[in-house]
Chains A and B, each alone.
Chain A
Amino acid sequence: MSILVLADLHEGQLAGTTAHVVAAAQAIGGDIDVLVAGEEVQAAAESAAKLDAVSKVRVADNAVYAHQLAEPMGALLVELAGDYTHVLASASTTGKNVLPRLAALKDVSQLSDVLGVESADTFLRPIYAGNAIATVKSDDALKVITIRTTGFDAVGASGSAPIEAVDTVVENTQSSFVKEELAKSDRPELGGAKVVISGGRGMGNGENFKLLDGIADKLGAAIGASRAAVDAGFVPNDMQVGQTGKIVAPDLYIAVGISGAIQHLAGMKDSKVIVAINKDDEAPIFQIADYGLVGDLFEILPELESKL
């Protein structure tokens, strides 16, 4: 077995999610190579080389791979995939964008959002917004898989794998990068935070999300939101937790003014401890919350902040 892991990059640096994907590769077993593709990604490659269990890091450093556009990335992966039995990426927006292209070009299926490994060809993945867990078995010669990173603990970073350059350069005349507007935040990244506090429609407006800031600061938490809060324009969409947003599984998840629709629960119900603060004691969120507090969030939040 030989596995290629596509590294996740965040502003040119190696993203923390990559260590989780390597852990998934470890559960499959075999040699694990990590591919770092992008422009000026030497530092990311050096970080990847430190990840435990990695045999080698392959670096495709070229302007054509900048921003990891799907067309050149797909073409690159097709070139490299012949050497491997499995190609893995995190189920990030990049992994989801690129890997199905590889699968189709190799005429194989793709397994999305895998959260458990049974064997080298059998995996677990959630379907129907996480309301069922399917065991899927692939008889394809090449397994193309995106990994739900919350399903695997990150590997350590005490390794020292060799780094080798990949000379493959592809052409891309079909797509080009125009611009990016990245949300700036000093808080921990939502997907990897140990504590997440999220607001929903009950927050009333975007201004009131500031009530979460003090608590988030004290707990070192990331701030999330329900789709209702995003659709109402309270906060930007990259804060959305749910089936169509980010999937999180922190140690502590605090849901404030969130009713608990199926689509929101899909994104957070694997959290270790769930706290719900809601004025409606019938809200579905209370059915999955370990600790529920019924009351007015505008009174509860300031009190919680002052007492933490």
Chain B
Amino acid sequence: MKVLVAVKRVIDYNVKIRVKADHSDVDLTNVKMAMNPFCEIAVEEAVRLKEKGIATEVVAVSVGPKAAQEQLRTALALGTDRAIHIETDERAESLAVAKLLAKVVDEEQPGLVILGKQAIDTDNNQTGQMLAALTGLPQGTFASEVAVDGDKVNVTREIDGGLQTIALTLPAIVTTDLRLNEPRYAKLPDIMKAKKKPLDVKTPADYGVEVASKVTLPKVESPAERKGGIKVASVDELIDKLKNEAKAL
């Protein structure tokens, strides 16, 4: 079966972000960007399914500015077969991305779609679920284990109290949690080879999808700073401070 994997270009997770002086958004100029960590896990899982002979072809797709092609090339270097870039400079909300991905699903007819559980920039945790709703496919979110078995897939999910396993009829949508796998690094020869792999560029208009959303961002601010604390010299002093100063004990 074909596996479709969605990747997002986001700020590198190690970067300490800055809010713009005019409070319109976070400042992304000259900031290191990378593939969203959960998307790396999604790509890894798709490639592993191919290595196991379950997936016949793995297609990576990304919605975003032209620069997102860097992340698609990374996905190609990691073992995906071809890529689709849906180019837009607009701020694409989860719903618009889900609508675009639903069109790609319709066109490509994958047996499984794998996404990350959330992007570390917007922290929304929505796109996979929305895609499942729009395509009418079942969803296995926050997956820590994915086992394809004939026309079903068993997904072990990380839920608040522990783990839950559900069985889904294929085709299905899966979103990855951190413990699903350990993503590999791209090797130099694979990075070179990835430059020759096919990458189709489309626009939202090609799919007849409107990217604009009814959600606006009037203001972005830095969170309240914590007051600088103190270092104590001993356990006795710590307990004393907690009891008498902070009244936390």
- Which residues does A use to contact B, with CB under 8 Å? 10-11, 67, 69-71, 74, 92-94, 96-105, 107-113, 122, 126-140, 173-183, 191, 195, 219, 227, 230-231, 236-238, 243-244, 246, 251-252, 262-263, 269, 272-275, 281, 286-294, 300, 303-304, 307-308
Contact = CB atoms under 8 A, between A and B. Distances in A.
A65 to B, nearest CB: 14
Nearest to B121: A128
A196 B122 CA distance: 27
Contacts of B144: 237
B11 A286 contact: no
Contacts of A180: 159, 162-165
B194 to A, nearest CB: 28
A121 to B, nearest CB: 10
B120 A136 contact: no
A131 B17 contact: yes
Interface string B111-130: 00000011011111111111
Contacts of A177: 164-166
Contact of A93 (B123, B158, B172): B158
A108 B214 contact: yes
B188 interface: no
Given A131-B17, A174-B138, A252-B248, A292 B159 contact: no
14 contacts: A69-B166, A74-B133, A101-B129, A103-B95, A104-B129, A112-B123, A132-B222, A133-B222, A137-B215, A138-B215, A139-B215, A177-B166, A293-B232, A293-B235
B226 A269 contact: yes
B214 to A, nearest CB: 4
B56 interface: no
Given A131-B17, A134-B217, A304-B238, 10 more contacts: A93-B141, A93-B159, A101-B132, A128-B11, A174-B168, A252-B242, A273-B246, A288-B229, A291-B241, A293-B235
Given A108-B95, A303-B235, A100 B133 contact: yes
Given A178-B167, A183-B161, A126 B241 contact: no
Interface string B159-191: 111111111110010000111000000000000
A109 B94 contact: yes
B90 interface: no
B220 interface: yes
A123 to B, nearest CB: 10
A126 to B, nearest CB: 7
Contact of A112 (B125, B165, B168, B179): B125
Contacts of A272: 248
Contacts, number: 254
A93 B220 contact: no
The 8 closest A-B pairs by CB, nearest first: A100-B129, A104-B130, A174-B138, A104-B133, A100-B126, A290-B229, A135-B219, A182-B162
Nearest to B27: A132
A41 to B, nearest CB: 17
Given A109-B94, A137-B215, A274-B229, A176 B167 contact: yes
B29 interface: no
Given A70-B132, A304-B239, A183 B246 contact: no
Contacts of A289: 229
Given A105-B133, A237-B158, A292-B229, A175 B214 contact: no
A131 B223 contact: yes
A10 B161 contact: yes
Given A177-B166, A181-B163, A128 B17 contact: yes
A93 B154 contact: no
B246 A290 contact: yes
A132 B223 contact: yes
A94 B138 CA distance: 15
